[in-house]
Structure 1
Amino acid sequence: MDHAESLSFLTRLGLRTDADERAIRRAYARELKQIDQEADPESFQTLREAYDTALQWARQRDDDTVQVSAPALDIVAPPAEDPIAEPSGGVDENELVDALFTQFHDHCRTLADGDTSSPHPWRQAIHYALNDPRLFSIAAREGFERRIAILLAGGWQPGHEALLPAATEMFGWSVDRRRLQRFGYPGFVLDTAIDEREIFDRQPDEVRYEQGRVIARLRDASLPDTHQLVADAPRINIVEARYPHWLAIVTSATNINRWREAVEALPLWRRKMASLGLRRASDDPRASSKFSALWTVIIGFMLIMRLASCGHDAVAPKASIPPPPLETAAEHIERGTKALGHGEYNNAINHFGRASQLDPQNASPHAWRAIAYAWNNQLDLAQTELDLSAELNGANALLFRARGVVANKRGLYADAIDAYTRSRQLEPEHPFTMMQRAVAYANHGDYDQAVAEADHLLKLDPNYGIGPYRLPLQVAVQRDRRDEAYKRAEAMLAALPDNSDAYASAARAYLNFGQRQDAIAVLTRGVVAAPDADLYLLRAQLKDRQDRRADLTSALALAPQSVQAINAMADLELDEGNASAAASLLSKALNDAKLDDELRAAVLVMRGIAYTRSGADTLARGDYEHARKLAVTATDLNNLCWRLVTRNTSLSTALSLCDAALQADPVYAAALDSRGLVLLRMGRYRDAINAYDAAIRKQTYAASLFGRGLAKRKLGDLTGGDADLRAARAKAPLVDRDFSEMGIKPD
């Protein structure tokens, strides 16, 4: 007898016991087609329960076949999406997507009845929809995304003000604009709307607040009082002129026209009084029955003006509203460079992209965008922008600077030096070029040249910033020149006494020479002279675990939304066995609508770890899968892998994340190091050594040497293993402590 007969959930789906997740999803989609959900809700509920049970059973069955050496929750990766547009079994994919989208749209209407100030509930709704088995192919997912794009581009409906940012984040529209190009005109509308929203957000706080208030008020069908109507009319004209596409999505175009018609219907005298904040006595029951002296003056003035207009046009001209400033490429380049300076690479990419749209013959936006892509570890896209810039102007200093940045990120340091040198020939003393060439020299091992370049930059521009001070300090540490490093550190602190990064860099220099207490002393000076959450965080990391809470509390007081501080405090709660407290802390962080994808993914992984520790495996799985979808770059993927492996949690998921990072960037040393640690924890020592070898060929991390040494010892190579451990300790005296805190010690 087939064992499936004893498993009723498989029988309900018409499946055998060897069915995998893809087969379960297909069977569910097939059976769902046979049910009228409204007429027969009980059958739908039975089918859904069978589907959920079958998935859990299949995952548990697969987990039981996986042998790993370290205890971990194995998160089963979602099945590969079927590239075939038409699924088997006669299921009409479009009908399934239509049915799901209808349910999603109905749910959005329900959400719109509540608070729409945060996009978080809409993000959750999209997340759940994307995990619905009816979207089991790439074509189905794209069809669902297309329907949302068309819905938004069709104009405002209640809740669209929250749905737009949620969809932009979940589908990555602001990061990869090519996704929107697939949708034709609706994609163009959304692409332009996203640009307009970013321009809106860049305004001064007071301007953004007033305009935002008017946009929100326009969603209310009732008209405001006359005074507010007239006062807000100029603001409506401005936002409509500057942000027409975004405005049409996030507020009511009908109400805009009603407001404008209501203002035009007012008598001129009424508009003038409203603009002065005055009312007729009959309009305000609290007003005096007699005219005040101010009323007398105003009415007298109006009569004089009326008489003066005799013989001319009887209708006073409307007050002219200055037109909004035109959007320019230069404006977007300036904003993009500022975003680069703050590490907001995706924001910078969007601004430079908009600049190139506004001025397509200008080579500069492409060169700047290449730098932003490179620093965001999207090197192929960076190369594309370099090629576009070169086609427009192949001999400009900015292009060579950008080539230097890309070459440096690729590890082609000689090429980077050559590109920066050519840039300096065109602009001999450009500070950025000098600083970047110094970095390239250091990466290439030309330490004397690197220090000379940095020192020369300081002579030319003593106020350049921390870079020319920090690089010679790092070179001294790299060359194991303790006295020179200490001298450079103190000189940097004397020159930059209010720079928190200077204290952090100096503390790390002391740490590299094993001077933990000196490092803590420097950080203590820093939190007094330049209080900063990062300084408290670093000092907490250097203290014993039982002494960290006070510094983490101070860090959160200075930066309540700091993901690093929240994660560190959650880590502390996990170490003390308070998994539920950690999950609660991380859930509050996820309510912040301003979190970008990278930070949200990091918090989701941490919360997944907390859920795993508390036994909530299903919730953990959901957080891991959501985080994976938000990770875009190799850096993002590696960071997620690192968080899991350092906490010895869900190692199969960690390995898949490292592999995805290396697929995006095969020579990414940090991801190779992370992969080595995963394999070490899994007991795959030979594979771990291979991963560490590859990492060390690119960059010699102390952690890679230490991990390789441990793996060698596990395989019986005590001599080679001990040699690696000694080399690691020479590079980082605290490396034993770092691995010990991860629960890893040499035998």
Structure 2
Amino acid sequence: MKNLPACAPAAPAQPPVEPPPPATAACADEYVRFDAAIDALLRDDALEPDALAAELRRSLDSEALMNLGDAAHFERRVAERLAGGWRPGHEVLFRAACATFGWARDPARPAALGPAGAVIRQAVVEQQRFDRQHPEDIEYALALIGQLHQPPDDDDELWDLQVGFDQLAADFPVWLRMNAPAASIARLQRSFAASFDVKPVDSPEEERRRQDVRRRFKYALWGVALCVALAAGLVQVRKLGWERALEREHSQWTGKPEPVPRRTELPEEHRRRIEHGIAYHGSVAELPATLSYKIFLGADRQAVVVMPMQRSGLPPFDAAVASAVRAAEPYPADMAPSFTLTIARPER
């Protein structure tokens, strides 16, 4: 650990929490009376927080707690009761104590109550965060806590309580232990964990063998993919040769001559004849660099249709091209019935 520089002031030490002075006999008697009165009130199903708050105020206003030390000792005893875990009615007593002692208004006040005060302070923070939730979420959480007070006997029915319990226990752990029985919480957690099968851990030899099988399977797949790719390439390369062989065999069996391959590109001299025969004397500045026309030939090798594939934007120029195409008739006998003519823009 690095030492701090000499100029850096040392962090002030936190003063330890001093133990409270011993309670007087009157204070102890008052807490016993309060504890019995609270237990009697908590047995009432229709208990209201105001009744507990009134009982707390009655004890604080009694002559037995007129001494500040006795009042602090009484507050500590109440905090220890709440921090010790849920008891019937603690969810109501906690809110009443927060309102009476001002734990929610002054977060530093519980810090003076020792270890129980730290639990109370965290529970207050979680209570405030719980109250800021959506009303529907609060209603669902309170209903879930109510079911935890009387959990079902069958563990299978605990699954109905699992929905939302994990999030509630993760977000409000201290507050939940103060509002629900610890035994019910632990039972629900054990039941949920036992519902999942834990896979046994394989030995190193088994894991190594499994990885070897996976590696061999992967290499086999790569080999199959490579063979398929090579076969597809060979088929593509020899496709034309096979077609020619089939045509030759077909002609031998039927006596028909082999089909003559058709040319799809016009000979260069024929294309130049068409370009020189275009009789157009207008401006060609707006024409594209190249123009394409689809030409359809008849049985007598005459141009039947001349269709622009890329319009020049100048109808007179397209008409001049069509005239030049027809002037270059007849076309070679080995030309395909239709072909594409590409010409360059005339130079003027």
Aligning the two structures, in what range does the TM-score lie when normalised by the shorter sequence? 0.3 to 0.5
More helix by share: 1
Q: Pick 1 or 2: higher relative contact order, CA cutoff 8 A, min separation 6.
A: 2
Give TM-score scaled by structure 1 length: 0.23
Larger Rg: 2
